[in-house]
Every structure is written in C-alpha cells, then in structure tokens.
Homo-oligomer: A and B are copies of this chain.
C-alpha cells in the first residue's frame, strides 16, 4: 500500500469541508485533517438571514445535514473518516518544512503538524468602515454564528425599535428584510448612488422602490462617518452628509475581503484583487498548497480578468476541484465564474449573471442592451412581473450578461441566461430556444425568449428603443420630444407617468394619426404598460414617414422614477 498521505485543510466552512469530503472519496487511506478556528463546522452561512428573520427557528439547521445530524467533529470522524478539529487556529505555515503551527484557542496549547498537501480555505473577513465607534455595543456584522445569535436575539427580544443597515449589497438587503420582518424600523445606507452594485442603476432602482414600499428608508450616496454611542452603547449613526440616524442597532454589511494573512505571511502569491492567486487547478504558487473559497481570486470567464467571487456555491465547486487534485494530481480544472448571483428581498427577487451594461462599458466591450418587462406566466395563472435587462456583444450577438428583478420567477430567468453564457450562445440562438412551457410556469413565449426577440429586433434596426434614464433626462432638460402613451384610457386613469405624454390608445392610433406632430422629424417616444403595444405604435407611426420614433424600454412597468399616478 502507498504511504499514507496527510492532507491538512485550513478552514471548515464551505470550501474546506467540501475539499475534505472529495479527497476522502478518492482516497480511503489519506489522513485528512480540517483545522477550523471557530467552534462550528460547515455552517450554512447563506442561511443566516433566514434564521434571523424567523423563516425557521431551529438554530441547529444551520449546522446539520439534511437528516438533522449536526456536522461536528464526531460526525466528520464517523461518517466521513475526517479529523475535523474546531477551535484550532493555524498561526503559521512553514512551507520549507511543510508543516503548520496550530493553536487550540480553548486550551491555548500549540503544536505543529506536517502535511503532504495543504489547502487554504480561510474564507473572508467582513469589511469595517474606518470610523470611530465600531466597537460600540449594537454595532455588528453578519459573518459568524456569534453575529447570528446576537441578531436573532434582537429579533426574539423585540426591544429594539430602530436599526441602520450599512451597505446595500446582497447581505445588507437580506439583513434588512430579516430585521424588518421582526418589526424593526430600518434605514439602509449605501455609499454608492445605487443599491446592489451587481445591477445597473435603473434596474437597482426598481428594487429600491420595492424596499421603500415596505416602509423601509433607503439613503444612497452616503457613508457612515461615525457610530455615536452613550455608555458604550450605540445610539446613532452619523452619515457623511451630516445626518444622524437614531438607532440601537447598526449592521455593517459593506462587503468582505479575502482572509489571506496566513497565506501572505507564508509567501503565497496574492493577486491584485487581494485574493490568493491560484491556477486552474486551484493550486497556489507552492505546488503542495492549494486554495479554494472566498480567500481566492478566480477568473471571470467573460472578461478573462481575475475577480473576487465570494459565493457559497463557487466555494463548494472550487473545493471539489482542489479535493480531487490534491489526491490525484492536477487532473481537473475550475473554469472560472460569470459571477451569477441572486437574492430575495421581500416580495422581489433580484438576480444577475455575466456583465451589466456598466461592467461591459468598463471593460471596453462594444455591447447592445435592452430592457424587457413582462409577466413570468399568464395573468390567469397569477403571473408576476419580471424586468430583465439583457446585454450582448454588439458585433457577434453573444450573450454577455443579464439582470432580472421583480416579484416573478427570477430564478428560472437567471438560470436561463447563466446557461446561455455557459453555452456561448448568441441572441439569435435564444430566439427559438425550446424551454419548458405550461401556464403554471411560463408564458407561451417565455420571458427570456421574448427578451431575446426584443434585442434581436433592436439589433436588426427594427426597434429603436430608449432607456428610462434617457427619457427622464430629455424630460428634465425640457427637450422637444413628443411622448405617446398608447394604452387604454382606463389604464391611463389608473396609472400614468405624467411626463407630458399624450394618450392615444393603440386601437385608435391608425384613425388619429393626424393628431401627431406635423414635423415628421420630431422625436416621438412611444410606450404602453410593457412597451409591446408601444412597439407596434412606433411601427405604425414610422410607416407614416416619421424618422425619429423610439420605444421606451420596458414601458411603465420598468419606469424606475416617480410617476404621477
């Protein structure tokens, strides 16, 4: 029998245990040790907000297998044959001697452990703004089970009235929802001009509108400059614009950074992103040391640039690759990410895959994009709205990104587009996609396919569209545009933009063409609820010789600004 290998894995959250499990399945003889700094193993950290918000009450579910067995050292030993040690902090990696120094944080004893292969899966550390008051009671992040217990306690005690969430990213908004559900008054503070930086601003704004509709305050373009305390307890958050928000709780969720100190001290290459640099085998510059999870940088498959992608799903996939390669040699590769993400925010879901328009621009890609608003399924099945922004490479039509938000089934939409990117598909390829259709699940022409149709029309020059941002700017600048709402008058009574538009229902348009501006070069912007009728109106008007007719992308349903009604 081969000499028994010793595998040491630093980190017991997501990537670490997955690496260990895969390694064990490929080698029943190897000694596999997980060294976990904290007291828990394999925590379902993406589930924290749902425990805090009360979606479920059994804390153990965050730490258990699906059949309810807690993933503690005993479980790892018995079920997996893995030596998982908790409260075991690695203090140093000695690459020359191939050993790690580990301190038991309970007994305070130290030892050194030699390894054949080492895997660094040290995860990430939450960012904290460098401002006074971070250590006040009532200021927390949401990163550890300790944080979870603290926040769940706040929910259960029902004492706190007001909280501020610093950071309008994914975790910030999930936390916002959890605390709001507990009846706490919330203000979300975001440094950038928009929430959810993985969305373009006009799409993010639809989410912001939804959050506000839940009696939640949102302040963008503002950072925290001080946590103000009294008797060491938080009593307010002071913002860069001078405003002080009274609150008893502040949750800081301004992103995470890779936890790379150990790696850096050991001379492992750190990339410009701040993450450990690995090759496609998840191997660092030391051939006996691999790394996986939030602590590494990975390649964005569209831009070919290294990025940080601290997602739980990728941590598992990377761990699986590392686990196989440490046992069998470099046999399998991790291809990288397109940074697919999704989150639930009250009754909305927001998701994205690939590049936004902003990211495409930053990367110098010549792109074309469109916004489509339409339901996920027929009205008679209770269809709910989806707003999708699709981005494609202009010259080739290759899909490079999609964002989707709304109360509808965003998950299926983002899955569709993530797979389209995976398959290197173009807008043309998506035109006749054969997706599962039945009324409980989709429209006869699925929202994704309809989005492709609209972008195809735009690429073929048949649809000249204009974004909500651009329309609003024209209105603000009092430009000479003729804005035409072609919905029914009953719809107009119920809801309308109020940006100087004229109402001519589509069904009456052919008879009322004489009401349009005489000058055929006038810029005319058509829309309806979702801009399908708007599109048909534009075609009718163009056929009359008008040369500058546009359609408002996504119609009223994708309009992210204040409406008259």
Binding site for B on A (CB under 8 A): 14, 25-26, 28-29, 44, 46-47, 50-51, 55-56, 58, 61-62, 66-67, 69, 75, 78-81, 170, 311-317, 320-321, 332, 334-335, 337-344, 349, 351, 353, 375, 378-381, 383, 409-412, 414-416, 418-420, 422-425, 429, 431-442, 444-446, 449, 453, 462, 487-488, 491, 506-508, 510, 529, 533, 535-536, 539-540, 543
- Residues from chain B with Cβ under 8 Å of A433 in the complex: 418-419, 422
Q: In the complex, A412→B410 CA distance in Å?
A: 10
Smallest Cβ distance from A368 to chain B, in angstroms?
19
- Residues from chain B with Cβ under 8 Å of A446 in the complex: 313
Task: Across the interface, name the chain B residue whose C-beta is closest to A78.
Answer: B507
- Residues from chain B with Cβ under 8 Å of A315 in the complex: 444
Sampled A-B contacts (26; CB under 8 Å) = A25-B535, A28-B540, A44-B444, A56-B380, A61-B379, A61-B380, A67-B487, A69-B507, A78-B506, A312-B437, A313-B442, A313-B444, A317-B431, A332-B431, A335-B432, A338-B434, A340-B436, A340-B437, A344-B440, A349-B440, A349-B441, A410-B436, A415-B415, A415-B436, A418-B433, A418-B436
Q: Are B78 and A508 interface neighbours, CB within 8 A?
A: yes
Q: Are A419 and B411 interface neighbours, CB within 8 A?
A: no
Task: Across the interface, name the chain B residue whose C-beta is closest to A425.
Answer: B423
Q: Are B434 and A414 interface neighbours, CB within 8 A?
A: no
Q: In the complex, A411→B420 CA distance in Å?
A: 16
Q: In the complex, A50→B431 CA distance in Å?
A: 28
Q: Beyond A66-B379, A316-B444, is A311–B437 a contact (Cβ under 8 Å)?
A: yes
Q: In the complex, A341→B313 CA distance in Å?
A: 28
Q: Beyond A418-B434, A436-B353, is A320–B380 a contact (Cβ under 8 Å)?
A: no
- Residues from chain B with Cβ under 8 Å of A422 in the complex: 419-420, 423, 425, 429, 433-434
Q: In the complex, A170→B349 CA distance in Å?
A: 30
Q: Beyond A435-B418, A507-B79, is A441–B411 a contact (Cβ under 8 Å)?
A: yes
Q: In the complex, A409→B434 CA distance in Å?
A: 18
Q: Beyond A423-B423, A423-B425, is A438–B343 a contact (Cβ under 8 Å)?
A: yes
Among A341, A380, A424, A508, the one with the most B-chain Cβ atoms within 10 Å of its Cβ is A380
- Residues from chain B with Cβ under 8 Å of A58 in the complex: 380
Smallest Cβ distance from A550 to chain B, in angstroms?
16
List 10 additional contacts besides A14-B444, A58-B380; criterion CB under 8 Å.
A67-B491, A79-B506, A320-B453, A344-B440, A349-B441, A353-B434, A415-B415, A415-B416, A419-B420, A423-B425
Closest 8 CB pairs of A and B: A423-B423, A419-B419, A78-B507, A342-B436, A28-B543, A313-B437, A61-B380, A414-B436
- Residues from chain B with Cβ under 8 Å of A14 in the complex: 444
Q: In the complex, A554→B506 CA distance in Å?
A: 54
Of the candidates B320, B381, B536, which one forms a contact with A50 in the assembled complex, judged by CB atoms under 8 Å apart? B381
Q: Are B50 and A342 interface neighbours, CB within 8 A?
A: no
- Residues from chain B with Cβ under 8 Å of A535 in the complex: 25
Q: In the complex, A444→B410 CA distance in Å?
A: 17
Among A14, A26, A67, A543, the one with the most B-chain Cβ atoms within 10 Å of its Cβ is A67
Q: Are A539 and B28 interface neighbours, CB within 8 A?
A: yes
